[in-house]
Structure 1
Amino acid sequence: MFNSKHYIVGDQNVSVPAHLNFGKYILDKLRLKKDEVALANGETGDKLTYKNLTQYAVNLAVSLIKLGVTVGDIVAVGSEKRNEFVPTMLGIVFAGATYTPYDLRCGRAILKHKMSITKPKYYICSNLFWNTYKDVLMAFDCVKVFITLDDSIESLISLKSLTTNNNANVDLFEPVKVQGQTDVAFILYSSGTTGMPKGVQLTHLNCILNSLPHDFSDDSLKSVFVFGEWFHNYDTFMTYKVLAMGKKIVYINKASPEIFLQACEDEQVNIAMVVPSLVVYLSKTDDFEKFNLDSFMFIYSRSSPLHSKTIENVKKRLPKLKNILQGYGMTECGEPTSENWGTKGPKPGSVGMVSPGTTIKIVDPETRKILGPNQRGEICLRGPVFMKGYIGVDPSTYLDEEGFFKTGDLGYYDEDTYFYIVDRMKEIICYDGYKIAPLELETILQLHLGVKEAGVVGKPVPYFGEVPAAFVVRQPGSNVTEEELKSYVAAEVAPFMQLKGGIRFIEELPRNTRGKILRRSLREMLQES
């Protein structure tokens, strides 16, 4: 009945189209552009114009409707990144169906798990995806029709043959009508950092709110690089924001820093949507000096916080860069905070202010008392951008008594209501009554010139609980030692945060497809050693 004075509320005057149809919302935006480039593969140079993208999506929608696809049907897509991926997503939504993506690199166990959650009726995939997972796909009786993005093989229908005779009138086509507040447009998946992924149902209204181009709408910004995969919430909806603004999207398949830099030079990228590890790379390497990056205006990072020194170093190396911005996001509710909303400009270490339409509170993890400024607690949120729900999961397990989503993230806000992320609550190391955030130690380690990447977990010890232990990937050519790094960290932190669990040097950190460190894998490695 009453709000708390400690609720942090974003702008509630958010405008959305009355039809609440995500397909129609995007189609109306796409029609405004014709011969401008919509998608550019930074590796191959292949490009797709807005006109051709829109025609492809509409043709596919008409073909799917003729096949019998209707509202409520789940259509899956499994493919590597390619120009056809985005209009295939849109064609499914235009047909009124629910789109769900599967990652080519997810592995058999995760694919089986995701398919058992969503049970798709139609399956569109590349030949590469089919050849990789054919036996898994064929084992699911729920799939009635398999369609390939490539030339027809085995029992797959070629999408090209489906759409060959279609030349639908784009100007007259209307996406199938839906109930925008309840009908599910997308099923995406939680990150799976603490267990198997959950199916996240996003309604048409959720998708519209996630795609509103509030930020980066400056007409001088023409080209946007999207580093991640199109089965992630972040990369998917950043893509739709860019399309809604009529800008060019640049992407690559191989997540290599060198290929990224070459693509940014070739396509004159103005905004780079990247992961924190790539920003750390830019802060240390001299490789980028081989490339002309004068077009860079903004770097936008999300997944884990950046150290203020990392940001300073990149700015020094790229003097024409206007800013490095951070945001806090999740599959379940898009982007709850972003530095784009910061009324006083970016603040070191902050992920910005609360996004429009969202309400956030910080609560004590044990007492559930609502906390005020500069008090660390669990981040909880609610608002119309929040998902319809997890498939097959009781809402009482993730919502509190006020209907707020319990994110499991530890954070706080300051006097200006700028938010700061500390870590996942489940990852917090408890030592002799002290709480230690692995992220804080990882960012300090990554500032060392001899460290490429670092991951920190708790090592169980008698009586005291856990002590921090680190896994470190050295920079190429570096011979930094365990004692050097222990001393380096000890000079920066309180005694209880020192790396008493030791340091292990490894070739590569285990990460999920979103770039987040899989600390459960590190804990397993710690037990094995």
Structure 2
Amino acid sequence: MIRSPFPDVPIPDLSVFDFLFDGLDADELERVALVDGSTGAETTYKQLIGQINLLAGALAARHVGVGTVVGLLCPNVPAFATVFHGILRAGATATTINSLATGEEIARQLKDAEATWLFTVSPLLPGAEDAAARLGLRPDHLVVLDGAPGHPSLRDLLGEGRKAPRIDIDPATHIAVLPYSSGTTGVPKGVELSHRNLVANVEQCKAVLDVTRNDRVLALLPFFHIYGMTVLLNIALKRRARLVTMPRFDLAEFLRIIQDHGCTYLFIAPPVGVALAKHPLVDEYDLSSVRAILSGAAPFDEALGNAVAQRIGARVRQGYGMTELSPVSHVIPPDRDDLSLGSIGVPVANVESKLIDTETGEEIEPPAEGRSAPGELLVRGPNVMIGYLNREDATRATIDDEGFLHTGDIASVDSDGVFYIVDRLKELIKYKGYQVAPAELEALLLTHPGIADAAVVGVASEEAGEVPKAFVVRAPGAEATEDDVMAFVAERVAPYKKVRLVEFIDVVPKSASGKILRKDLKAREAAPVT
């Protein structure tokens, strides 16, 4: 077992709101917390806290509090921070939803989370109304932040002027958020993260994410994803930095915002790194304000990281985590220029890690020199989730009796305690940092009348990391084409889940127990695709 090289830090016994916003001095209150990257509109910390309290008061007046789950379907705009923290301030639980989700996917998550309210924005209203209709959600329980006929708006709720309620919760057990993750396998499940989980991860990252009050942090990573939720909404706000929001990725707009707002700290996923390293448009903008870039959400190639660092002239680091870890567990520290950008660095404070042999279950000891044999990475710490919502079986399969979370990623460790991800035990596909569960796509494919059987695997892609590829067995007499299959899936899932490649086969290889042999399918691939 390998402990973090950093000393343990105390974890405050506080709610997320009290931890982030209690006790700000006069100077901090007047600092700018959020900037709309598109319009330049600014929100100070004082204004943000006031809005959060007003929204919590309006929700409490509607009996939204402890025991209530509220859906939040919204891109990165300043109002997201108000609503997200307002929900938590009221004592309710937020389940954040991917902005690209279809009405069917939104409804599925809301139903599973037992959510009775949904906040969204007008551009996403069609999907939200579709989901609301499927679930029988009342129009007054569907709040449209920027306003829409027949629904309350954020302005309406804040305008009531109600005081925030006094709530009594146990931060260690009360569920603050329910993001959805596929874990190591299967369809997405609600990940129960307590207030303590979120507070702990902010404190654990003090030594490895050196965001300061003088930084202007570009909020490109979606707030609905745990990566953006923790490192942007929570870490950046706790450090009293300035968050510059960006609702969707467009390279020219991304570069313009960095230049015009003087952004200093970028949190990205690898596909953005590819653009920063290779796209000619980068040379047309002044990015000299950028001092640090951290990549996460998917593996980051060392050569790519070095290319980004050289071209932008900024420090580049890589981190590792997962939704179930709130999410950060390993990071290359700011002062470790000696470490390979292909590594994930060292465990953050309060984290214990170990590797186990996937065949024997025996622990793999760190070597005296060089790197160890590969094994599954296990993590224990205060950032480990409570469990999966209503899925005791999946929780037990993921968190062992000693409290170690089995990540499903294969790693090695060197003699200095530096970790490297080398493979994936889990079946999850990472498309541009988004999670795609093969089982979810396989279940959908099997509803196609022309498909008798199907399997989905991730295929390497330089641009996207991985793309979903379907291996399809046609039903007798069926004449489905590759385009038919891809169109069928595309009409029913969010864009990042779309099947990008199709291959027709005679039979899907399976074990004696009926488990799909994905390694056999991946072995058929001769070369990566772009």
Give the TM-score normalised by the residue count of structure 1. 0.77
CA distance in 2, matches of 1:457, 1:97: 36
Tell me by how many angstroms 1:142 deviates. Answer: 6.6
Q: Are residues 1:354 and 2:331 paired?
A: no
Specify which of 90, 96, 108 is matched with residue 103 of structure 2: 108
CA distance in 2, matches of 1:147, 1:313: 44
CA distance in 2, matches of 1:111, 1:388: 23
The residue aligned with 1:491 is none
Tell me by how many angstroms 1:221 deviates. Answer: 4.2
Tell me by how many angstroms 1:93 deviates. Answer: 0.9
Give the TM-score normalised by the residue count of structure 2. 0.77
Q: Are residues 1:412 and 2:403 paired?
A: no
Residues 212-291 of structure 1: matches in 2 within 5 Å?
Answer: 212=203, 214=206, 215-217=208-210, 219=212, 221-239=214-232, 240-291=234-285
SS in 2 for 1:340: coil
The residue aligned with 1:87 is 82
CA distance in 1, matches of 2:125, 2:43: 24
Relative to structure 1, the CA distance from residue 36 to residue 175 in structure 2 (aligned partners, 3 Å threshold; closer, same or farther) is farther
SS in 1 for 2:29: coil
Tell me by how many angstroms 1:330 deviates. Answer: 0.6
CA distance in 1, matches of 2:9, 2:40: 38
Tell me by how many angstroms 1:521 deviates. Answer: 3.4
Specify which of 189, 193, 197 is matched with residue 202 of structure 1: 193
Structure 1 alignment gaps of length 5 or more: 1-5, 430-437, 447-451, 461-505
The residue aligned with 1:375 is 373
CA contact (8 A) 1:124 1:149 kept: yes
CA contact (8 A) 1:342 1:418 kept: no
The residue aligned with 1:501 is none
The residue aligned with 1:179 is 170
SS in 1 for 2:200: helix
The residue aligned with 1:126 is 121
What fraction of aligned residue pairs are identical, expressed as a percent?
26
Q: Give the aligned length.
A: 447
AA aligned to 2:85 is L
Q: Are residues 1:325 and 2:349 paired?
A: no
CA contact (8 A) 2:57 2:162 kept: no
Tell me by how many angstroms 1:12 deviates. Answer: 5.5
Tell me by how many angstroms 1:146 deviates. Answer: 2.7
CA distance in 2, matches of 1:372, 1:96: 44
CA distance in 1, matches of 2:121, 2:412: 44
SS in 2 for 1:332: helix
AA aligned to 1:137 is A
CA distance in 2, matches of 1:141, 1:459: 34
SS in 1 for 2:267: strand
Q: Are residues 1:16 and 2:11 paired?
A: yes
CA distance in 2, matches of 1:179, 1:272: 34
Structure 2 alignment gaps of length 5 or more: 367-371, 430-456, 472-485, 506-524, 526-530
CA contact (8 A) 2:352 2:381 kept: yes
Tell me by how many angstroms 1:359 deviates. Answer: 1.2
The residue aligned with 1:51 is 46
CA contact (8 A) 2:211 2:265 kept: no
CA distance in 2, matches of 1:272, 1:52: 25
Relative to structure 1, the CA distance from residue 142 to residue 295 in structure 2 (aligned partners, 3 Å threshold; closer, same or farther) is same
Question: Deviations 1:483-506 (Å, cap 9, x if unpaired)?
Answer: xxxxxxxxxxxxxxxxxxxxxxx9
Residues 389-408 of structure 1: matches in 2 within 5 Å?
Answer: 389-394=387-392, 395-408=395-408
Q: What is the RMSD computed on CA atoms of the aligned residues?
A: 3.2
Relative to structure 1, the CA distance from residue 342 to residue 113 in structure 2 (aligned partners, 3 Å threshold; closer, same or farther) is farther
CA contact (8 A) 1:80 1:129 kept: no
Tell me by how many angstroms 1:192 deviates. Answer: 7.1
The residue aligned with 2:515 is none
Question: Deviations 1:84-110 (Å, cap 9, x if unpaired)?
Answer: 111111111111111111223112332
